[in-house]
Every structure is written in structure tokens, then in C-alpha cells.
Amino acid sequence: MPETFREEQFLALAKARRLRPVGRNHIDRGMRRIASFFSEALGREAAARRHGLLQQVDPRARLLATLVFLVSVSLAPSLPALAAHLCLPLVALALSRIRPHEFLRAGFLVTLIFSLLIAAPATLNVFVEGRVVFPLLSREQEIRYGPYVIPRVIGISSEGLLTAGTLVLRILSSVAAVLWLTLTTRWMDLLRALRFLRLPPVFLQVVGMTVRYLYAFLRQSEEVHLGRKSRSICRRPIASEQAWVGSRIANAWERGLHLMGEIHDAMTARGFRGEARFPPGSPFGAPEWGLLVTLVVCCAGAHCV
């Protein structure tokens, strides 16, 4: 009772002085998204350590298999061939012990919705001429605007469905193939695998340092916001909030430059000369060659569907 009374007394006093107690706002929502980003990243690292089919194969073989699969998807000529290609990464992810919700939350669900929205206009005979199988709107006569013609009957055409289905299946197959690589491969292993493609060392170094700095920057932003919120009783005027955010941005920029200098000095002191050195990879064994041969055979069979 005393605690409840003091809380009511504080709220009444804050209302009398026109103060707003600290509550949830867009910054809190952003911080929650940052926290969810870290949890999802840790979940993907945990998924890459599971004892699944793809996790037991060398990351270089996984990367090479992904590239071969993407080339095969781009050359697939028909809907049945693309549907068969889409089944391959789904089966591989299931055998790799990747849960369906992890696969959907990693970007596949967003890709599905986005690709359907992009492909939807292509089903209309306004954009792709063809035989209407599902009429939506009927006019007395067609309308012409220069070289453009709006037909008398507007609806979904069979040719439009074929075009839209081809686009959606090609996008989903490609995204599923990329996800089978990222969900079963740790970040450092993926960087080592990219060296197998003879990419410039500077490119890999910049990518690796960028990802590490983003993690450090997001963690710092979360800690600064939580520290300030824990010391705040009421909201301050919007101008004061904007000034505080601007000062934190400047502080983050200054700390980033200082951190960059310290990392450069530390790497130089340890003998770094502009190229990250990784231990040499072992030659491909039976699991790696088995994965590549199985993938080539399955892709060839998908083209024959």
C-alpha cells in the first residue's frame, strides 16, 4: 500500500507540473529491434553448430554448391523445373536440422510476400497480353493511349500467370539457396570460404571489420540508451532529447575513429601487412565431393522435369 500511494503521489505531482513519465517510444522500439537482432544472430550461430547434413561439409564446398545451384536456377526454363529446384534447398535445410520458423524469419517469408506483390501486376492482361482465364473488369470497348492499349476485358491471363510464377519461383529458389549457406555456416567460416574464390584480400578484410564494427556500434547504442533511461524519471522537452541524440552521435563518431586507430596500431604491432591470413584448408574429401556430385545430379534431373 505505501508503495502504491507513493507511485500515485508521484504521478499526480508529475501531472501538476506538466511532466511526462518515461514510457515506451520509438527509441525503445528501436532498442528492442537491436536486441532481437543480436538474439537472431546468436541463434544463427547456434544453428550453424548443429550436427546436420550441411554442417558436416567443408564451407568451401557449401559455397561452391550454392553458386552451382544459382547458375542452374537461372538456366531453368519451365515452372516444373523451377519448382523442383525449390525443393532441393528445402530438403537440404530440413536434413541440416534448421527449424521452419528459423528459415522463415531469416528472410524467406519477407521474400515470399515481396515477390508476390512484385509479380501480381504481371498476371493482368494489361501488362502481358494473353488469354483471360479470370476476368476482373469489363468495358464496352478498348481504350487506346498512343501505343498503349487497355483491352475491353481486364483480367488475369494464362500467360501472365506463367510469367509471374516463373519470377516468383526463381526468386524463392535463389533466396532459399543463399539461406542454406548462411544458416549452416558461421561468419568466420564464410569469410574463409570466400578466399577460395580468390577474392581480393582487402575486400574480405573490409567486410569482416565492417560487420564487427556494426556489432560493436549496436551494442554501444543499446547500452547508452538503457543507461540514460535507468537514470531518467520524466521525459524532457523534445529539443533537449534531440540535442542529447546529436551529442551521442558525435560521441559515437569520435569513439569509432579512436577505436579504428587503436585496432590499426594493434594489428600493425602483431605483424599485419594488409592481408588476413587463414590456415590452409584441407583437400575435399568424400562428404564434399558427395555433396557436389549429388547437387549436380539433382539439378540435371530438375531440368529434365
pLDDT per residue over 14-50, tens digit each?
667 665 655 555 666 666 666 666 666 666 677 778 8
Long-range contact pairs involving 23-27 (C-beta distance under 8 Å, separation at least 24): 23/235, 27/225
Spatial neighbors of 170 by CB under 8 A, at least 6 apart, are: 73, 74, 76, 82
Same domain, 135 and 256: no
Final residue of a domain: which of 192, 222, 248? 192
Are 206 and 180 part of one and the same domain?
no
Q: 123 with 258, same domain? A: no
Same domain, 261 and 127: no
Residues 105 and 138 in one domain: yes
Classify residue 97: in a domain, yes or no.
yes
Per-residue cell: 253: 563518431
Of 192, 222, 242, the last residue of a domain is 192
Domain end: 144, 169, 192, which one?
Answer: 192
- Same domain for 30 and 149, yes or no, is yes
Give the residue ranges of the chain where pLDDT is below 50.
1
pLDDT in the model for residue 47? 73
Task: Report d(CA 85, CA 17) in Å as an integer.
Answer: 66
Q: Please check whether residue 14 lies inside any domain of the structure.
A: no
Q: Which amino acid is at 300?
A: A
Residues 228, 121 within the same domain: no
294 part of a folded domain: no
Does residue 147 form part of some domain?
yes
CA-based nearest residue to 44, from 255, 189, 167: 189
- Rounded CA gap, 63 and 182, in Å? 10
In a domain? residue 293: no
Domain range for 241: 199-273
Q: Does residue 297 sit within a domain? A: no
pTM of the model: 0.70
pLDDT of residue 71: 92
Given this model, what pLDDT does residue 17 score?
A: 62
182, 207: one domain: no
What pLDDT is recorded for position 42?
A: 61
Number of structural domains found in the chain: 2
pLDDT of residue 1: 47
What is the DSSP secondary-structure string of 187-239?
A: HHHHHHHHHTTT--HHHHHHHHHHHHHHHHHHHHHHHHHHHHHHT-SBPPPHH
Residue 19 lies in a domain: no
Query: Per the structure block, which three cell numbers stand in for 49?
Result: 553448430
> Could you give the C-alpha distances from 202 to 96, 217, 279, 305, in angstroms and in order?
32, 22, 17, 43
